[in-house]
Each structure stands twice: as C-alpha cells, then as structure tokens.
C-alpha cells in the first residue's frame, strides 16, 4: 500500500478535523470526565462511556468521537492515582504498577512515582499513536497471522512471567499461579457451560471477577497492614522527592519505556489476549532487563515506568482489532463500538478503505488526549501526593468505601462484598506467608485463555490430522508460533539466570521460631484443592472437566511437595516464611483479625441495612472509635464521603447493595 498516496491526505484531513476549537473542547471535556471517573477504582471506561452514550445521539460525529476518545484514553492514566497512592489496583491495567508504586509512596516518594508513571503514560500513548499511524494500514494480515496455536503460545509466554515474579521460592510461585488458575476456572465452563467448582451457588457459577480478585489480593492486605500500624502511608508523614524527579527518572529510562510501549502496542493489537496481562508482561520484562533485581517490589522506579509505558500504548494497539475487525479487546472498547454506531460509523474493514480520515481522527485524538490527561495529572501529582501524609485511620473509611463500591460494580449483589472479604483474607494470608500474589493474579487472568485455546487448537489440529500429518504440523508450528516459542524460552532462561543471583531480602533482626502457621495454611489450601478435585471429577461433559482436573491435580501435587519439604526444613527457611514474625508487620500495635473485623462489620451492616445506611453507621463508628475524631470532624468526613459517593453513583445511575431492610420495605434511591 502506498503510504504517501493514501495515508498523508487522510492524516491531513484528520488533523484538520481534530484541531478545531469545538472538537478540542469536547476532547478536554472527555478527558476531565475520564479523569474524575478513573480515580474511582473499578468504575473505569465502561461506566464513563455509558454515561456519555445518551448525549452522543445526534451529536456532530467528530465532536462525539473526540469526547469518547478523550474519556477512554485517560482511564489507564487516572487509575494510577489509586495504584500508587493507596495500593489499590484501579483497573486491570494498573495492577503491576502497585508492586513498586505503592512502596515508593510508603517511602514518601509518591509525587516522584506518580509523575514518573504519568510521563511514561504520556510517552506510551504518543508512541502508540505514531506506530499505529503506519501500522494500521498493514495490520490486517498481521492480526490474522495470530491463530489459536499462536494465541496459546502468547498465553504460555504470559505464564513464563510467573518465574520472574515468583519471589524467593519457585515452588511456591508455581503453586500460587496454579491456585490462581483454579479460582479462575470456577464457574460455567467456557466450552459447554457445565457448572464447575461452584458448589451450587449461582454467584460462583459466573466465575470470580477480576476487579474483586485484584482488590482482594492487593488492596485489602495493604489497607489492613497500614491500619494495624496506625501510621500515614508515607513513612513519618513526610514527602521526599518531588514531581520533577519522576520526570527525570522517566527520561533516564527512556529505552525501557520504548521497549515496554512496543510490548503494549503489540499485545493490544492481537485480539483475544486481553489487556489484563500486558502490564505483567511489561513488568516481567523490566525485571528481566534490570541488572540489580533486589529492589523490585520495594520501590524500584523502573517497576513503575515499565507497566505504565505499556498500558497506554495498549489502548492505542487495542484500536486495531476494535476498528478493523469490530472485535473489542475490552469492555470499554465494546461500548466504544456502540458509540461509533450512534454517531454513524460501523467498525469493520471499511474503517481503512473508506473512513481512513475518521480512523486517524480516533488515533490522534487518543494521542492528544494522552497529552492533556497525563499533563494535567503530572501537574496535580505534587498536590495529590499529600494524601499519603494523612493519618491513615482518617483515610481508611474512604478507601474501604471505594473498594466496596468498586467490588459491587461486578455483579451488583451483596455477594460481591462477601467475595471481596473472602479473597481479601486469602490475600492477607498469601502476603503473610510469602505466596507471591502477582503469580496468583497471572494464573487467574490466564486460566480461561489457557483452557479455551488449548482445547480449540487441539480440536482443529485433530481435524487437520484427518488430512495428514503435514497440514497438522504446519498448523501448530507456524513461523509465528516458533518465534513466540523462542521468545518464551529466552524469557524463562533470563528469569532463571537472574533468580540464581537473587539474594534473600533484608529481614528484621528477629529470626523465625515456629513454622506451624505456614504449614496450617498450606494444609487448608490442600484441602480446598482436594474438594475441587472431587467436584471436577464429577463434571459430566468430558471437554469441560479435563482442564480443571489437570490444573487442580498438579497444584495439589505441588502443595503436597511443599508440605513435605516444610516438615523437613528448619523454621527460618524461606518456604515456611511467616512475615508476622520477621516482616514489617512484626510488632504492629494491632492484631490482624481485630483490624479485619472492621471490614466484616461493614459487610454485616450492609447485609442488614443496605450499603448506604451501613456506610453512614460505619463511618461514624470507625471515625469515633478508631480514629478518635471529634463529633464535628466525624460529621464532616462522613457527609463528605457519602456525598461524593452519592453524586458519582447518581450520575452513573448506580444502585447500592441492598440488605435485609430493603427486602422488607420499599425505600427510595439511594437506600433501596
């Protein structure tokens, strides 16, 4: 395709369309809306776009497009605030950012971490747009080169990151990833819909949602831990490095940023892989290409720059399957397609042949929105970072409110909150016994793809076998698949080489005396797996039971090996680590269970009175008893928190979890 003859006039027209005062105005409006919604974890682009859709009808196409793109573009930017400042993964795009971003905030370097993240986001977004401008013209055959065997290889590549993120014990890393897959395989089987490992509950039948697992595994353990120690997020409530340092950090790591942005675009372009692994692949790559690995997980700025460069680039890459094939890579992209139809464009191959100017308008609006959004965020980061100096008990009720509301967006029942607490307990225990939580999340995210692609690729390969061996082998071992295999091998090799040089982390002076608690935890997990194994064996449809039996079986085997080794090693060995004795929580003034009971109280109150009434009571009780505020402060904070929530929920037409009271009486919104 002659680039200059086709693309340049279209690009020219697109720039003409974007750069009018009216369209830039709508773009900025979208950006501001996106930023305000994005800071609420769990809401994300779906909620924001659904809010816009009613207004799109009858709007000028380019203005409507600018507004939608502006909103979509900044969601992976704004959710960084929650990831870095509070340790809450705002969306699937910013889970890996938590790993190093939050420790930086705890060291008083929130502003630096934020601005490094935003600079990376900005760069990633721009890079994605530049690449797409050329790539989108030739993308179709490349996307079509990724068949099921190739998608399966990409999934395997994702799994190979477990090796990098396993921490000090590879065995525990593998078990944890397996456990994540078991939780991910719960519910209706993807092939024939057999109910699996749901124990008769309709809630589990739909499977666990990523939002809840992400919040439970990352946010709850951190919130509980901070609350136990009664301090501000930033140590000694002081702020160190400022926003300018972060931008400089990014500049120093610009090559890393370019590589991760490339990963982001590539993963985004391929439909079916899902955006939820891209930040993990980028994080894994960052760790692999850093000489000194010890600081990762303890506030390494590269651990922020890598994933943040990739997730905004991914949004750009994700436009390829969305616009060219009409196959949305995410929920927000699905709504985006709906929005396109409202203003008169249908996603499909003709977006390149007939509507190229509009396609370029989308691509470059995305770039421009990234500049506005990230620029605004860098500007704000110094001020917002001050949140980390507030006494944590004052912040905690707001955070618990936000994550409960976020969790509730997944199925809109009280069970969402119950699931959040359950996964939260698991997360707390995994943190305590050093079961690597990122590995759990990778297993969870990839479980479905691993099952479906394995099954489908096998099915097609067997069908080709009827034609002979060579058509089958050509199908499985295509050039693309072989390249991916090579990348996976290199990635595993790099990871293995580096973990050999990994020294044990610095621990407190106290040495561990007992290994009973970690062994009990392992036994409980083993029992859980055994129950699931029995359940999986009882699934009647063959193709729906192979995967859970395999995964549960191997994980159970690993758990038994771990148990055996645990019983033979001394109490201070890494595989029986108990951070309650040697970690930063050792000697915390408050117990973990008494702190967790606050969350359970919120759940119980909600079950009785519905979320809003429960929340009001919870705020008052928590602030008075735990934070010891005056009645005036309590009243102000409570009304502030509830008011903010009601405004957002009202604008988005959201309901709250009902309780027993609501089943007896018919109450008006927001109490119903």
Partner 1 sequence: MTNRKPVTRRTFIATVAAVSASAALTGVAVAPNASIAADFGGKTIEWIIPFKEGGGSDKWSRFYAPLLSEALPGKPTVVVKNMPGAGSTKGANYFASRVKPDGLTIFGSSGSTQFPFLLGDPRVKYNYADWNVVLATATGGVAYLPPDLGAKWKQDPKSIFNTNFIYGSQGATRLDLVPLLAFEMLGLKVDPVFGIKGRGAGRLMFERGEANIDYQTSSAFLSKVMPLVKEGKAVPIMTWGALDDAGNIVRDPTFPDLPTFKEVYSQVKGQEPSGDAWEAWKAFFIAGFPAQKMVFLPKGTSQEIIDTYSNAFQKVINRPDFPQISKKRLGVYPQATGVKAAAFKKRGTEVDPKAIAWIKGWLKDRYGVELKK
Q: Which two tokens stand for residue 649?
A: 């929920």
Binding mask 54-73 for partner 1 (x = CB under 8 A): x--xx--x------------
337 sits near partner 1 (criterion: CB under 8 A)? yes
188 sits near partner 1 (criterion: CB under 8 A)? yes
Nearest alpha-carbon partner for 120 in 366, 302, 363: 302
Q: How far apart are CA 491 and CA 550, in angstroms?
A: 25
Q: How far apart are CA 189 and CA 212, in angstroms?
A: 20
Nearest alpha-carbon partner for 317 in 661, 76, 518: 76
Scanning 105-113, 328-336, 489-497, 634-642 for contacts with partner 1 by CB under 8 A, the matching segment is: 328-336
348 sits near partner 1 (criterion: CB under 8 A)? yes
- Count how many Cα atoms sit within 13 Å of the Cα of residue 123 in the half-sphere of its side chain: 25
Nearest approach, Cβ of residue 327 and partner 1 (Å): 5
Residues 254-313 that bind partner 1 (CB under 8 A): 271-272
Of positions 52, 139, 319, 335, contacts partner 1 by CB under 8 A: 335
Q: How far apart are CA 384 and CA 86, in angstroms?
A: 12
Burial category of 101 from C-beta neighbours within 10 Å (exposed 0-12, middle 13-18, buried 19 and up) = buried
Residues 19-48 that bind partner 1 (CB under 8 A): 46
218 SS3 class: helix
Nearest approach, Cβ of residue 40 and partner 1 (Å): 17
Q: How far apart are CA 274 and CA 452, in angstroms?
A: 13
Q: Is the peptide bond before 298 cis (omega within 30 degrees of 0)?
A: no
Nearest alpha-carbon partner for 224 in 652, 635, 598: 598
205 sits near partner 1 (criterion: CB under 8 A)? yes
Please say which residue, 25 or 331, places its beta carbon nearer to partner 1.
331
Residues 524-543 that bind partner 1 (CB under 8 A): 540-543
Q: Is the dihedral of CA 339, 345, 350, 351 positive or negative?
A: negative
One-character DSSP codes across 493-510? HHHHHHHHTPPPPP--S-
Please say which residue, 346 or 584, places its beta carbon nearer to partner 1.
346
460 sits near partner 1 (criterion: CB under 8 A)? yes
Q: Which two tokens stand for residue 668?
A: 């008006």
Residues 261 and 315 sit within 8 Å (Cβ to Cβ): no
272: number of Cβ within 10 Å: 18
Q: Where are the alpha helices (DSSP H) in 187-252?
A: 202-205, 210-214, 220-229, 243-252
Of positions 30, 158, 195, 299, contacts partner 1 by CB under 8 A: 195
Please say which residue, 112 or 654, places its beta carbon nearer to partner 1.
654
Q: How far apart are CA 449 and CA 329, in angstroms?
A: 14
- Count of residues of this chain found to bind partner 1 when the rule CB under 8 A is applied: 61
Position of tokens 């960084």? Answer: 80
Of positions 345, 360, 440, 619, contacts partner 1 by CB under 8 A: 345
Of positions 459, 501, 514, 597, contacts partner 1 by CB under 8 A: 459
Q: Cα dist. 5→14, 104, 318, 323, 672 in Å? A: 15, 49, 26, 22, 60
Residue 590 main-chain phi, psi, to 5 deg: -120, 155
Scanning 52-60, 66-74, 399-407, 495-503 for contacts with partner 1 by CB under 8 A, the matching segment is: 52-60
Please say which residue, 327 or 394, places its beta carbon nearer to partner 1.
327
Please say which residue, 51 or 239, places its beta carbon nearer to partner 1.
51
Scanning 102-110, 331-339, 375-383, 590-598 for contacts with partner 1 by CB under 8 A, the matching segment is: 331-339
15 sits near partner 1 (criterion: CB under 8 A)? no
Binding mask 360-399 for partner 1 (x = CB under 8 A): ----------------------------------------
Of positions 4, 255, 291, 344, contacts partner 1 by CB under 8 A: 344
Length of the chain: 672
Burial category of 51 from C-beta neighbours within 10 Å (exposed 0-12, middle 13-18, buried 19 and up) = middle
53 sits near partner 1 (criterion: CB under 8 A)? yes
Q: How far apart are CA 108 and CA 102, in angstroms?
A: 10
190 sits near partner 1 (criterion: CB under 8 A)? yes
Nearest approach, Cβ of residue 331 and partner 1 (Å): 6
Q: How far apart are CA 216 and CA 183, in angstroms?
A: 13
Binding mask 116-145 for partner 1 (x = CB under 8 A): ----------------------------xx
Please say which residue, 79 or 355, places its beta carbon nearer to partner 1.
355
- Count how many Cα atoms sit within 13 Å of the Cα of residue 224 in the half-sphere of its side chain: 27
Q: Is the dihedral of CA 554, 416, 218, 523 positive or negative?
A: negative
463 sits near partner 1 (criterion: CB under 8 A)? yes
467 sits near partner 1 (criterion: CB under 8 A)? yes
Nearest approach, Cβ of residue 465 and partner 1 (Å): 10
148 sits near partner 1 (criterion: CB under 8 A)? yes
Of positions 36, 289, 456, 550, contacts partner 1 by CB under 8 A: 456
Please provide the distance, in angstroms rounded to a whole number, between the alpha carbons at the two ends of the chain.
58
Nearest approach, Cβ of residue 334 and partner 1 (Å): 2
Q: How far apart are CA 311 and CA 120, in angstroms?
A: 9
Of positions 326, 375, 553, 644, contacts partner 1 by CB under 8 A: 326
Residues 432-451 that bind partner 1 (CB under 8 A): 451
Residue 493 main-chain phi, psi, to 5 deg: -60, -45
Q: How far apart are CA 621 and CA 211, in angstroms?
A: 27
667 sits near partner 1 (criterion: CB under 8 A)? no
Please say which residue, 325 or 554, places its beta carbon nearer to partner 1.
325
Binding mask 627-666 for partner 1 (x = CB under 8 A): --------------------------x-------------
Please say which residue, 62 or 637, places its beta carbon nearer to partner 1.
62
Residues in contact with partner 1 by CB under 8 A are 46, 50, 53-54, 57-58, 61, 144-148, 188, 190-193, 195, 200, 202, 205-206, 271-272, 325-328, 331, 333-335, 337-338, 341-350, 353, 411-412, 451-452, 455-456, 459-460, 463, 466-467, 540-543, 653
């Amino acid at each position: 395709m002659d680039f200059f003859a086709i693309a340049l006039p279209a690009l020219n027209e697109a720039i003409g369309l974007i750069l009018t005062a009216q369209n830039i105005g709508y773009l900025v409006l979208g950006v501001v809306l996106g930023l305000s919604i994005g800071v609420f974890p769990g809401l994300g682009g779906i909620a924001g776009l659904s809010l816009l859709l009613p207004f799109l009808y009858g709007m000028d196409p380019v203005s409507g497009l600018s507004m939608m793109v502006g909103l979509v573009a900044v969601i992976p930017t704004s959710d960084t605030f929650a990831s870095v400042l509070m340790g809450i993964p705002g969306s699937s795009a910013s889970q890996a950012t938590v790993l190093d971003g939050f420790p930086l905030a705890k060291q008083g370097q929130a502003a630096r971490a934020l601005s490094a993240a935003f600079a990376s986001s900005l760069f990633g977004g721009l890079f994605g747009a530049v690449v797409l401008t050329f790539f989108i013209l030739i993308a179709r055959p490349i996307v079509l080169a990724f068949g099921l065997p190739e998608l399966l290889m990409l999934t395997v590549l994702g799994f190979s990151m477990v090796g990098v993120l396993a921490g000090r014990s590879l065995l525990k890393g593998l078990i944890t990833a397996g456990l994540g897959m078991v939780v991910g395989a719960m519910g209706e089987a993807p092939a024939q819909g057999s109910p699996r490992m749901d124990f008769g509950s309709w809630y589990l039948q739909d499977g666990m949602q990523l939002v809840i697992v992400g919040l439970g595994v990352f946010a709850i353990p951190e919130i509980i831990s901070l609350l136990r120690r009664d301090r501000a997020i930033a140590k000694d409530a002081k702020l160190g490095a400022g926003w300018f340092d972060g931008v400089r950090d990014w500049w120093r790591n610009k090559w890393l940023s370019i590589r991760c942005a490339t990963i982001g675009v590539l993963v985004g372009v391929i439909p079916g892989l899902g955006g939820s692994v891209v930040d993990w692949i980028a994080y894994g790559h960052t760790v692999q290409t850093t000489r000194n690995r010890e600081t990762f997980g303890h506030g390494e700025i590269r651990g922020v720059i890598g994933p943040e460069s990739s997730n905004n680039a991914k949004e750009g890459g994700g436009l390829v399957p969305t616009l060219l094939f009409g196959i949305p890579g995410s929920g927000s992209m699905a709504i985006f397609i709906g929005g396109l139809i409202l203003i008169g464009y249908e996603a499909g191959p003709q977006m390149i042949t007939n509507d190229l100017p509009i396609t370029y308008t989308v691509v470059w609006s995305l770039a421009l929105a990234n500049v506005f959004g990230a620029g605004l965020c860098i500007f704000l980061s110094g001020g917002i970072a001050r949140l980390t100096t507030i006494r944590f008990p004052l912040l905690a009720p707001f955070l618990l409110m936000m994550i409960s509301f976020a969790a509730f967006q997944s199925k809109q029942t009280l069970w969402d909150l119950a699931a959040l607490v359950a996964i939260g307990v698991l997360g707390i225990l995994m943190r305590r016994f050093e079961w690597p939580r990122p590995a759990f999340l990778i297993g969870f995210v990839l479980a479905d793809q691993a099952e479906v692609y394995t099954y489908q690729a096998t099915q097609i390969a067997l069908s080709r076998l009827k034609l002979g061996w060579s058509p089958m082998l050509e199908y499985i071992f295509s050039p693309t698949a072989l390249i991916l295999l090579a990348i996976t091998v290199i990635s595993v090799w790099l990871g293995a080489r580096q973990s050999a040089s990994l020294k044990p982390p610095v621990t407190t002076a106290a040495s561990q005396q007992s290994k009973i608690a970690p062994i009990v935890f392992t036994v409980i997990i083993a029992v859980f797996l055994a129950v699931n194994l029995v359940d999986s064996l009882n699934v009647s449809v063959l193709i729906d039971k192979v995967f859970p039996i395999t995964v549960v079986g191997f994980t159970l085997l690993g758990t038994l090996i771990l148990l055996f080794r645990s019983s033979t090693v001394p109490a201070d060995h890494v595989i029986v680590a108990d951070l309650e004795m040697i970690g930063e929580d050792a000697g915390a003034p408050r117990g973990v269970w008494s702190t967790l009971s606050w969350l359970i109280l919120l759940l119980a109150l909600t079950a009785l009175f519905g979320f809003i009434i429960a929340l009001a009571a919870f705020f008052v009780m928590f602030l008075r008893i735990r934070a010891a505020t005056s009645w005036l402060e309590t009243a102000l904070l409570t009304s502030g928190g509830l008011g903010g929530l009601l405004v957002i929920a009202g604008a988005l037409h959201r309901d709250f979890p009902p309780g027993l009271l609501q089943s007896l009486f018919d109450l008006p919104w927001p109490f119903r």
